[in-house]
Chain A
Amino acid sequence: MQKTIKLITVSLLVFILGIFYLSLNRSSNYDTKFLVGSKLADIELKGLQSKEFFTNDDFKNNKYTLINFWASWCAPCRVEHPYLMMLSKNKDIKILGINFKDKKINALKFLEELGNPYDYLAKDNYGKQSVNFGIYGIPESILIDSKFNILKKIIGPINAKDIKEIKEIIKS
């Protein structure tokens, strides 16, 4: 009987230490990169410049689409903009820019000043649509294929490394 109790006690201790070990070695930075590999929810977005609606049908013929959440008031969006401009020259990828909680006039001024890398321009005035994409801050970008599978999720401004990785995905 005493042996059983000792065995159970030791097992419990090992279990607790194991949990501690796993928890301490796990990254404590939260992100939504677990969405990579899953399918994107249905898209239904209002256009920024026109009254048109963008739905999945608008993107299903694209080999790859990069969905980029941005705003004129977002400083890191300015940092990533040259990279988006660079990416826009690639014919295998289309870029959907979703203007997040912004004023149309400021958004258009931003694009006039820095250039427009977007093939599609949509708006998310209240930020509600961003929840559908698992966005919790901007800038954030999602790379999808023609079947709406999420291939890559970039949290924060796009950098040279991300561009390289995107280009590798497109080539493969």
Chain B
Amino acid sequence: MKIKLLCLVIFFNFSVYATSNEILNENQIHKNLRCLVCQGQSISDSNSEFAQTLKMVVKDLIKQGKTEDEIYNFLSDKYGDWILYKPKFNYENFLLWSFPYLVLVFGGFIIVFLIKKRQKKT
């Protein structure tokens, strides 16, 4: 009896965990997908026909076992990178991703230069 109860508890916990994980992933994906017919909204925030359709498609793709990246790739093939709030890291977006780091390095370089210059004066 105890073993049966234990199995039931484990099964219940596992299904709750699996469900919450699926919901989390779905919401996470929805938040990164732009509603193309709305003004600055993700499909997570929108109830438009287009957003509802995309939510269904994302659900289906998750059920088919597609990963988050595979879903993004599928949708950006159909609608372009504009559908993604977080742009992909590719050669077209290389500068977009690397520019803040370049500015950081360049800024550091200037600071070091100014400090050295000040030290020389004193």
Q: Which residues of A line the B interface, CB within 8 A?
A: 1, 5, 8, 12, 30, 32, 34-35, 101, 126-128, 130-134, 136-137
Contacts and interface: CB of A to CB of B under 8 A. Distances in A.
Interface string B55-94: 0110010000000000000010011101000000000000
Nearest to A2: B113
A32 B60 contact: no
Q: Which bucket holds chain B's interface residue count?
A: 20 to 34
Interface stretch (B2-10, B15-23, B46-54): B46-54
Nearest to A101: B49
Contacts of B49: 101, 127
Given A1-B113, A8-B106, A32 B56 contact: no
Contacts of B106: 8, 12
Nearest to A16: B99
Nearest to B116: A1
Nearest to A138: B49
B57 A136 contact: no
